[in-house]
Structure 1
């Protein structure tokens, strides 16, 4: 069994599309106005971005430890990604470091979604 797609709700669909295109090299397949965008990573994974419905109770946040994780092959790819974030004006609170056996960078983007870039280089 293989996970082949994920529907991620975002506050700003346009920003999220540009974010995934520029930082993660996802390709936009189809977009339906400001409601939904379908993207793929050219490796068989489909990312569906949906606009998060506005709520008056200010509860449009993912749980604290929710995150999207990306594995890369080398520690230098983690470092390069950190530089890429800076180039796009996305600040991070930390630099990459060894965490639980992997060289890892955590950062927050898209109004509060946590991202992880990790290498388990041997």
Structure 2
């Protein structure tokens, strides 16, 4: 069995789409106006984004992007900080990891 897709409800589809493409290399598969976008990772998993007025995920909800090395985690962290995101630096927890609040109202974990 293979996971086919995950849908995230977001307040700003365009901003969430651009964020995921810019920092995590997702590819745009299609979109409908400003209310829906389908993104794909290198393994063919689809992440869909749907527009909603209010987004209220539980405090611990997040999606994660695993990296091949701690250096790659540090590189993504530096790019995000340079682009104005206010985030705590990576730390050793269950992995070398940090979290960032993505545009659109959801949290992303980056880890190696």
- Normalised to the residue count of structure 2, the TM-score between the two structures is 0.91
Matched residue, 2:90: 96
Alignment partners' CA distance in 2, 1:40 and 1:98: 29
User: Does the Cα contact within 8 Å between 1:11 and 1:51 map onto a contact in 2?
Assistant: yes
Runs ≥4 residues deviating over 6 A = none
Indicate the RMSD between aligned Cα atoms, in angstroms. Answer: 1.4
Matched residue, 1:110: 103
- SS of residue paired to 1:70: strand
Question: Which residue of 55, 69, 72 corresponds with 1:74?
Answer: 69
User: Does the Cα contact within 8 Å between 2:11 and 2:105 map onto a contact in 1?
Assistant: no
Residue 90 of structure 1 deviates from its aligned partner by 1.6
Matched residue, 1:63: 58
Runs of at least 5 residues in structure 1 that lack an aligned partner in the other structure:
none
- Normalised to the residue count of structure 1, the TM-score between the two structures is 0.84
Alignment partners' CA distance in 1, 2:8 and 2:105: 13
Alignment partners' CA distance in 2, 1:45 and 1:34: 22
Greater C-alpha radius of gyration: 1
Shift in CA distance, 33/112, structure 1 to aligned 2, threshold 3 Å = closer
- SS of residue paired to 2:18: helix
Residue 111 of structure 1 deviates from its aligned partner by 4.6
Count of aligned pairs: 112
